[in-house]
Chain A
């Protein structure tokens, strides 16, 4: 069942009119990020992601060119462990203390909003599948593919404002048919929605 909800934290709003303003073209939106949450962050060691990501670089397992691994486990609720790539980063992201696999698309993609969202979703799902099969995580790491967040990592293209929500809400609804979509965060944050079943 689709529920497109206005849950913009900290701001009173009159309602959610799904009207796309003339100036906002969803197809111009780039840098779609997609995070799939883990079911139980205590079930595995995050440190094990470091050798796994190094192995991914060595084996070239992703379509993106992979460069390096960055370890930020020492900061709480931060970017966790990142696999830095040229076109995109993959990471065990722990923002807001919720661990998940984040696909952060950096390079511009041709196509439409729908095709870019599909690419990010596919890349994140493939990474989740692969991680669950990696030896240190096998049987311990499980992603909840029905608990997702979508970000737009560009405040100029997609500020966390009503207009963005009005423009992108229908696009997200179309893609995540059957999911509940809620707008998240405060105006200073990136535009972000939770996608849950």
Chain B
């Protein structure tokens, strides 16, 4: 940790607003008290999370080196949360409301990533910035420095209102209804630290979009998503929002439900407050796996939920902040630095300008201005590049910069005739790669690189796909070039894989006595229409064969698509059975002796492992019946999807439930050689031997997947809707994944390589 930590407060104290300074003082005191052992781990963990100080991989002091699990001997035995060591490096998430940044803030981020992190700032899929490998005792100094340039990390993590996202081209978009920026800003600071938003059972995510059709804000995967709309009333045009609630990804993805077609602008803040109150009061608190707003909305039904919110709204004490900001909204506008101008068509352009212009430049609604996207590989940018962007933003713009949910940066209000010069300056800093919005611009969560929940290397795969696709980008036709690939390291969906044309999330499989990294393949998610549809998994492919799988799928789309047919329509037309056939040829894993590369992940030479496993027996080449039985369960889930697509809701639900039942039977057989046939007895035995013993528990969601199975059993005879059947299929898929993980843990062979 830095020796200068304690001096930053004295240096910057005067430039930090009083309320932020007071918060930082409190955090510093809490750190001091924790070091003295006067704060419980669980309490301190939530405290630091609410300041954005997150855990990171190996922070329990255990690390598999590919042969065995070793203890990382940190100097201090103190902890900063349950099973989280004090000295273990962590991640600092920095909230960037609606992605808005200025040049000074970029420079500060540059300084911080050099001095406290590893020299890289990472843009997330929710417009935040993350720094990795941060010592907890460096975080207050880092926060003082951020606060001095107007950034707070408060409520960047934890059970709170997370970063409020918005279209990065809000205000300059040619298709927007109106600029949502002032509303996003108002709700950010209204909800920040609001007493009604301090006792949620889980996080609460808000997004604003300027239109319905585009994807920029992904409203329908948020807890509270607002789309700008207007209505003619009393002879005047009134602003308001189409409001969607209860959306979310994660293990149980749900699309948001329409709450109201038109919420007048003056009601958007009080309504958010009323919803927060209902969520805080009625949302699940004990079981974090069912604590998001989406579960409450599902449980109550949207009608009942609305009634409760309306009742809450009625009794809210008036708050002038609800509408104070509105008087400034009509005048809200960013200003350009330069007068408008047009790009000279015939003028000589720098080399490489044309393809960059085609992909990275967006002509604004304001004639003579353009927005430029800086496509960042894997969302990463160096300190020197941040300073280069700051310089460009001062030279060509009034520092109007935003981060995007595609992990990029945009520069708004570039006078068009400046584009060649700006391109040249960005190119010097290697920030002018012409891939924005193309299949090359792959999004990914941190995955196993740094996330403690990661199963497979999402960034490793993203990097590999980026290299391979970039090499043939120029040859790809437009239909393929504009597809989106999104990758998550696990089922928690931080890479937003559900809304990609081609989505992937990390899983593992036991093959030939080893654990092998795989990715589940999801096809046909809809990125546009504010995340209009979620893709469903069609099967798992070994990590090392994903690039071939991508080639196969995109090649077939190119060859067989009908004129004007979108990828979603193509996938729907050929059907999931055909899609599965496409990937089936890539599912084989060669023996370890034939090709050991399949047994390690992208960019990581260690033999793949899903955890720090203790002593186990060598499974050798023996194939247990459970291997086949779990594969059969996967097929059942897939078949359930096909039935659902065919409109056979009842059959789909039954098959999904039965796949869970068979997965449980497979594990019981693995443990006891025999398993009961009666479903009730299967559930009872499974509960006794796998749930009560916690053998089946996932390190993150604990017993959630087993609970889903128990619930599915209890509700086996209840009629399902398309929506609830879809959810059951999702739950069944994850239950089968959990069966695989449990089986892998039970049959682990960590001692094999040590010899």
Residue positions of A touching B, CB distance < 8 A: 28, 30-31, 50-51, 54, 57-58, 65, 67-72, 74-79, 82, 84, 86, 89, 95-96, 106-108, 153-157, 188, 190
Contacts and interface: CB of A to CB of B under 8 A. Distances in A.
A72 B115 contact: no
B605 A68 contact: no
Nearest to A79: B119
Contacts of A157: 3-4
B120 interface: yes
Interface of B: 1-4, 7-8, 11, 57-58, 63, 65-67, 70, 72-75, 87-89, 107, 110-111, 114-115, 118-120, 132-133, 135, 377-378, 380-382, 384-385, 387, 430, 449-450, 463, 466, 603-606
Contact of A67 (B4, B58, B382): B58
Contact of A95 (B11, B381, B384, B604): B384
B382 A153 contact: no
Contacts of A74: 377-378, 380, 463, 466
A119 to B, nearest CB: 15
Given A84-B133, A86-B75, A75 B382 contact: yes
B65 A54 contact: yes
Nearest to B107: A188
22 contacts: A50-B603, A50-B604, A54-B66, A54-B605, A65-B72, A67-B88, A67-B89, A70-B118, A70-B133, A72-B120, A75-B430, A76-B430, A77-B382, A78-B120, A78-B382, A84-B89, A153-B115, A154-B2, A156-B4, A157-B4, A188-B110, A190-B115
A68 B107 contact: no
Contacts of B107: 188
A75 B381 contact: yes
Given A75-B385, A77-B430, A84-B89, A106 B3 contact: no
Given A50-B604, A71-B463, A84-B89, 18 more contacts: A54-B604, A65-B73, A70-B133, A70-B449, A70-B450, A71-B603, A72-B120, A74-B463, A74-B466, A78-B382, A95-B382, A106-B135, A108-B1, A108-B3, A154-B115, A156-B4, A156-B11, A190-B114
B87 A86 contact: yes
Contacts of A28: 3
Nearest to A31: B2
B454 to A, nearest CB: 13
A188 B88 CA distance: 29
Nearest to A70: B118
B111 A86 contact: no
A78, A154, A188 interface centre (most CB from chain B within 10 Å): A78
Contacts of A30: 2-4
A134 to B, nearest CB: 13
A154 B3 contact: yes
Nearest to B7: A156
A66 to B, nearest CB: 9
Contact of A89 (B88, B118, B430, B450): B118
A84 B610 CA distance: 21
B1 A107 contact: yes
Contact of B380 (A68, A75, A188, A190): A75
Contacts of B385: 75, 78
A154 B1 CA distance: 11
A127 B450 CA distance: 25
Nearest to A69: B604
Nearest to B433: A76
B172 to A, nearest CB: 28
A89 B385 CA distance: 21
